[in-house]
Structure 1
Amino acid sequence: MQFDCLYDTMFRAHFPDGDIECDHYELTEHGADLYDEDDVFLAFVPYTSLIALMNEEIDRDPEPSIAD
């Protein structure tokens, strides 16, 4: 299942070792394949390490919060 950008939007894969920006990604059986705008493979992030795949335009609070 591939999720392409409908707009000029970047995505960010967030995992414990850092973040990777990508143009689009494909969800596989074991994780997410990340690609740039030229369809060049950037990285594979296993689901066990993936914290979030976010639209780059989403603002993140620098201070994480815990929901009640």
Structure 2
Amino acid sequence: MSRDEDLSLLREYTQNESLIKHMFAVEAAMRAYARKLGEPEDKWGTVGLLHDFDYERWPDPPDHPLK
């Protein structure tokens, strides 16, 4: 996925600005860890950015990773 596609998906599913800020913070942390560990920054940045993209729609643990 491209960065534009990542952001489009994030905005489609996430409205809460605090949650969006959290997702950007996790992305930054994941990129830093990837850089430190010699892993692909874009891949791990995307993982961090989108890790909670569907949380507002399915916040309950039994549903969150499955729907």
Q: Please report the TM-score for the alignment, with normalisation by the length of structure 2.
A: 0.26
Instruction: Judging by fraction of residues, say which structure has more helix.
Output: 2
Q: Please report the TM-score for the alignment, with normalisation by the length of structure 1.
A: 0.26
Higher relative contact order (CA 8 A, sep 6+): 2
